[in-house]
Structure 1
Amino acid sequence: MYDLTGFQRDLLYVTAGLDEPHGLAIKEELEDYYESEIHHGRLYPNLDTLVDKGLLEKGEMDRRTNVYAVTRRGRREIEARRDWEAQYVDDLLAE
């Protein structure tokens, strides 16, 4: 996870949180968060990077739509990241 960009981490988190994560749904969630347009030329290459790293699996919903799923490794990486974050921010959030 340490070698991912912030955008790639956000992609992984959003994909993990959606019921049927396909490109357009992921794009819309990130646009809401970033409050700006996410271009296809940024979205899909980064999703492919996560697939190549073994953090996401890519399948087909239909001939035009790809769906993504977090792999077991991806889930472990998310857990490890959240544990790492917790050691720095849990006390702050408890105040």
Structure 2
Amino acid sequence: MFELTGFQRDLLYVIAGSDQPSGQEIKERIGKDVGEVNHGRLYPNLDALVEEGLVEKGQQDRRTNYYKISEEGWQAIERRREWEDQYVSLGE
């Protein structure tokens, strides 16, 4: 996940913690923490995650797509957390 931007990592975590959210749902959820996210920033970054194979994109209806973390995405999160644990120990 070192090749991802911080925003892309944040998107990946939001998607992982959701049940096939739409782009609009992702925008609302991440916006609560990082502030307003515009369409021009959100969708190119979601597309990059799809291209990397970390996220799968599907169609809910003719106008709405959903996003789902892929197996590769779960593995990337697991590797990242293991890497973080090397450097961050909570109260140990």
TM-score norm. by structure 2 comes to: 0.95
Map 1:16-95 onto structure 2 (within 5 A).
16-34=16-34, 36-90=35-89, 93-94=90-91
Name stretches of at least 5 consecutive residues in structure 1 with no aligned partner.
Answer: none
* Alignment correspondent of 1:14: 14
TM-score norm. by structure 1 comes to: 0.92
Query: How far apart are the structure 1 equivalents of 2:82 and 2:62?
Result: 38
Pairwise CA distance, 1:20: 2.9
Q: Say what the alpha-carbon RMSD is for the aligned residues.
A: 0.9
Instruction: List, as ranges, runs of 4+ consecutive aligned residues in structure 1 with deviation greater than 6 Å.
Output: none
Query: How far apart are the structure 2 equivalents of 1:76 and 1:65?
Result: 27
Query: How far apart are the structure 2 equivalents of 1:18 and 1:94?
Result: 29
Q: Is the contact between residue 21 and residue 68 of structure 2 (CA under 8 Å) also seen in structure 1?
A: yes
Name stretches of at least 5 consecutive residues in structure 2 with no aligned partner.
Answer: none
Q: What is the number of residues matched between the two proteins?
A: 92
Query: How far apart are the structure 2 equivalents of 1:87 and 1:21?
Result: 31
How much identity, in percent, do the aligned residues show?
Answer: 60
